[in-house]
Structure 1
Amino acid sequence: MAIPSLTNQVNKGVGLTNKNSYQWSVSSLNLIVDGPYRSASFSVSRCVSQKFSDPSEPGPGLNDASTPAQVHKQKDSSIVRILKESNSLLPHVVLASTLLALVYPPSFTWFTTRFLNVLFDEFDWYYAPALGFLMFAVGVNSRESDFLDAFKRPAAIFAGYVGQFVIKPLLGYFFGTISVTLFGLPSSIGAGIMLVSCVSGAQLSNYATFLTDPLMAPLSIIMTSLSTATAVFVTPMLSLLLIGKRLPVDVKGMMSSIMQIVVAPIAAGLLLNRFFPLICDAIRPLLPPLSVFVTALCVGAPLALNIESVMSPFGLTILLLVIAFHLSAFIAGFVISGLVFHKATDTKALQRTLSYETGMQSSLLALALANRFFQDPLVGVPPAISTVIMSLMGFSLVMLWAKREK
């Protein structure tokens, strides 16, 4: 009788790898030969059971019933997982907030007119606490060494600066010029497009980088902080060169903005992560859904407040020009950084980071400058539209690149 061949078939069928399992299968097969045929099913099932049995962890058929504590733990882990993965909903939430702001602007105007104006006297400051919270979330998920490592990449920091204050202004001048010469729009519209290209980077680019490449977030923060700090000198010079009007920028206000929006929240997150790790572990699952909600407010509120500018007679043409401007900036940052850093081990991550830095800028600062220093209200229309388009395009890239990485 071909017992060895039958043994091999059983072993192959159930994948026996354990010595004890093998011995048990042989003894069971002996029962098949010597005993009645009905013992065959019993022996094979025992082989399978023996294969999956382990003294340290119960297999199928053993302890199938979960205790209430285990069920509760599984539910808790499921909730935590859902909270952590809520960032994947960000593009959909941004799109929904945009549509809601278009259909019913009061759904977002409360964000500035009722709550934040109590905290901040000027309209321009409503972004401060919201962006500060996003930077706090970045700090909680970072370490001091991450920022120290970012300072060791001066070439990348310089490339980000060039993207902000060289590539972007050139694109702004080009689209601002053709808006007048080719599309026949008023010169104030062209000035508004150029003004958008003169301002510093947007803090939302830091959060976008964090969602796509978390290890690059400190580098992105340093790039944006540097461009914001030096904007008090660079923005007036660029506005004089491109528009022909020197726009003074409040040095004290700019530095205060950096402290409130960037330095203080990130420092708080880093300190909390270092000295109170248990608290960080407790609040970390809650940060993604809250960040998604705050980002939706940051996108919907500017659109709701500037809905008249978007719906102006020149709105559609300006919208297309602003889209082309930002799209060109995103592409330029991605392509040029790929050529410069093609030998780097993290080229793709650098390309995405520099694309965000070049394509996303502080359009709210441009809007504030337009409202303060230009008598023609049309100058503020491109910055108002840019605030929305920049956010939508940036977080659309987050969705695209995050899916590719997965």
Structure 2
Amino acid sequence: MQESILTAVFLPLALAFIMLGMGLSLTVKDFKNVVLYPKAILLGLVTQLVLLPLVGYLLIQGFGLTGTMAVGLMILAACPGGPTSNLITHLSRGDTALSISLTAVSSFVTVITIPLIVNFAIRHFGEEGSISLPVFETIVQIVGVTVIPVSIGMFLNQKFPVISQRADRPVRIASAVFFALIIAAAILKERESLPAFLAEAGLVTIALNIITLLAGYYLAKLFLLPKSQQISISIESGIQNGTLGIMIAATLLKNSEMTIPIVIYSLLMFLTAAVVILIHGRRRIT
């Protein structure tokens, strides 16, 4: 994929804006929840940082994916939860504070784990000549479009809480529009090959989504966490930051084909999210 204004400028800026919006809803208290809910936070991080990449790897083996499709799925599996997961958790009557805390903490931790997992995938599944991610430069770039905007958002929320609250809804709407534009641009870029890509990656991406949703839920249930936290961990495990994944594939690796599993996942996850909301949203959570 040739460098373009979309991948070099708009995509990183759009992601930074989305993460800034997430920061506007975060406070220092969200990080204190690591101490308040250590078992829930630890379990949530394990499902995201360990279980998710492991499931992705096993599905790639099971479905026989190779090359760009396999690397694209591993990029997705390496990404943290995104702001969308917080909204879905809220609508599903999950523990929104836990969801926000997991998203925030995992967004910081995956700055380190993403280049390690992605480079492993490129070496293991990539084709000859695949570009590897330089670890230090990748960390710097991911920090620039995720950690720094989130930190700025948190600073603004602390210093100007009233303005931040008023800006929260418009920023969320704008973030949703940016996300939709990014997905549309990726689909347009590969529109001729999309049916074949959908046939190749559709089942494996929906399997990744459903398996991680169920695994997060039942692991939290096994550890006797409250129902609301079971829902939160389930959603944080199964709803990933697709925008970050697309940026890694399209901007850092300059490979539009690697975005296809991520784009397909980003579309299909809304169907499963709707089911989750229907199942839990009308129930009284205790």
TM-score, normalised via structure 2 length: 0.76
Give CA deviations for 1:253-311 in whole Å, capped at 9, x if unaligned.
222233344222133223333xx5xx67xx55x744x3663354144223211224463
Aligned-partner Cα distance in 1 for 2:141–2:183: 24
Which of 240, 259, 263 aligns to 2:147? It is 259
The residue aligned with 1:156 is 40
- Alpha-carbon contact 2:99-2:233 (below 8 Å) kept: no
Q: 2:134 aligns with which of 229, 248, 266?
A: 248
Q: What residue identity is the alignment partner of 2:68?
A: S
Listed as ranges, the matches of 1:353-392 within 5 Å are 353-371=232-250, 377-392=256-271
Q: Does 1:304 align with 2:184?
A: yes
Count of residues in correspondence between the two structures:
270
Partner of 2:213: 330
Question: Is the CA contact (8 Å cut-off) linking 2:74 and 2:117 kept in structure 1?
Answer: no
Equivalences for residues 62-141 of structure 1 within 5 A: 121-136=9-24, 138-139=25-26
Aligned-pair CA distance for 1:222 = 3.6
Unaligned ranges ≥5, structure 1: 1-111
Q: Deviations over 1:113-138 (max 9, x none)?
A: 6xxx9xx83523312213422441x2
Could you tell me which amino acid in structure 1 is paired with residue 237 of structure 2?
A: T
Deviations 1:36-85 (A, max 9, x none): xxxxxxxxxxxxxxxxxxxxxxxxxxxxxxxxxxxxxxxxxxxxxxxxxx
Secondary structure of 1:404 counterpart: coil
1:237 Cα deviation (Å)?
5.9
Q: Is the 8 A contact 2:74 2:118 kept in 1?
A: no
Which residue of structure 2 aligns with residue 24 of structure 1? none
Are positions 1:173 and 2:57 aligned together? yes
Counterpart CA distance in 2 for 1:321 and 1:350 is 27
Q: Is the 8 A contact 1:192 1:381 kept in 2?
A: yes
Distance in 2 (alpha carbons) for counterparts of 1:396 and 1:154: 29
Q: CA RMSD in A?
A: 3.4
* Aligned residues of 1:228 and 1:254 also touching (Cα < 8 A): no
- Taking structure 1 as reference, are residues 205 and 298 closer, same or farther at Cα in structure 2, changes over 3 Å only? farther
- Structure 2 stretches of 5 or more lacking a match? none
**Measured at CA, do residues 295 and 373 of structure 1 come closer, stay the same or move farther in structure 2, by a change above 3 Å?**
closer
The alignment-based identity, stated in percent, is: 20
Helix, strand or coil: the match of 1:247?
coil
Spell out the pairing of 1:164-313 with structure 2 (5 A cutoff). 164-180=48-64, 187-211=67-91, 212=93, 213-231=95-113, 234-236=116-118, 238-239=120-121, 243=125, 247-249=133-135, 250-273=138-161, 284=166, 287-288=168-169, 290=170, 293-294=173-174, 296-308=176-188, 309=190, 311-313=194-196
Q: 1:164 to 1:232 in 2, by over 3 A?
A: same
TM-score w.r.t. structure 1 length?
0.56
Return the letter of the residue paired with 2:210: L
Q: Residue deviations 1:202-226, cap 9 Å, x none?
A: 3432343345433334422443234
One-letter amino acid matched to 1:170 = L
Q: Which has the higher contact order (CA 8 A, sep 6+)?
A: 2
Which whole-Å CA distance do the structure 2 matches of 1:132 and 1:125 have between them?
10
